Structure 1
Amino acid sequence: MEDTILLVDDSPYIVDGLVALLKRKGFTPIATHGGDEALTVLKTMKPDLILLDIMMEPMDGWETLDRIKANPETKDLPVLMFSAKKITPEEAQEHCLNIEDFVSKPVNPSQLLDSIKRIFERRKDVKAEAGAAKDSGLDACLIDEYSALRKSIEVDKNLLVVLKNASGMNNAGREVPADDIASIKKLEEKIATDEQRLKVINEKFPKTEGTATQ
């Protein structure tokens, strides 16, 4: 069965290009041209993934994301954000728990497809690992924490790369704002803490072929 991907972008040119790309790669793309249209479509179908642009009018991607996650019927749907807009440290901190990944525009087809593949593979692995842990009698809260950490670490690492590129800290001689440096350091510390916690939890999991190791 082909995976269904809901595309949300107010640029018909971009939507048409992504529809063609995803069809060639065996996905079933559903095109929408704004947040309101996407929310209407979600009342009647549940895609396997939502590909959501940030810079849209009148409802931007962050507001659309908030409304998707506020609805009990759609809150668990995975969302991949993409945009030409540079994501800010504040946006990364506020929304990282609600997204699966972030891809910058102009969209590199290989990068986008790799991100989609990672999202589907991670969700499949985590589901299998959580099922095995549940069967072994592991505490449900611990299983939920493990699943959340698996996602958040990967998302945070991807956002860290985006933030570093946006700040220009990889450009020799460029002065980086103190606020950006502080936000990047804070995110690095969070990743390190989460990885250590994941390692502790992982030791309690029954060992399967797909179990993550840190």
Structure 2
Amino acid sequence: MNPPPNGTALPAALPDALPKIIVAISGASGAIYGIRLLEAMREHGLAESHLVVSRSGRATITSETDYSVRQVTELADVVYDNADMTAAIASGSFRTAGMIVAPCSMKTLSGIANSYDETLIVRAADVCLKERRTVVALLRETPLHRGHLRIMSEAAEAGALIMPPVPAFYTRPATVEDIVMHTVGRTLDLLGLEMPGASRWG
């Protein structure tokens, strides 16, 4: 499924009070993080989701999960083509509450760190950073060499929050799904969104 070029909203009306959150799925391993974020936003009515999936992200969805790309895009309220640089989220005048890149590949983070706005994902992140909006990058790479660490530092200096999806074990996870959902809850926390049932210390 190729997303419409300028974003297509689902027919159902959305409350004006819902914050607009951009979700990007890039080509790193861990597409399930982006999928579960979209599901949580929709299930709990937390936000109006604006989705961009890279070409590699589309391949990762089909290779790592039982979801089709179409099923994933149908979880979002608005979908954009990653090549569409005229999309609403490419402009700072389109107000959003921030962006989550889940998963975030090193290539995508490098683009963000260097403002190399060749794709809509990187442009949208760059816009959020220049407008002082939250950008959370669930970076999926290990081990890390010095160049990776430098790019992470540069992205952080630009204002991005680097959040490798490191599992917490104080929650006593019984399944991979438990690990994924804990990260989803912590990620939403950084956008000021509370997921009901999220596991917390203490």
TM-score with structure 1 length normalisation?
0.43
Bigger radius of gyration, 1 or 2?
1
Higher share in helix: 1
Which gives a bigger RCO, structure 1 or 2 (Cα 8 Å, sep 6+)? Answer: 2
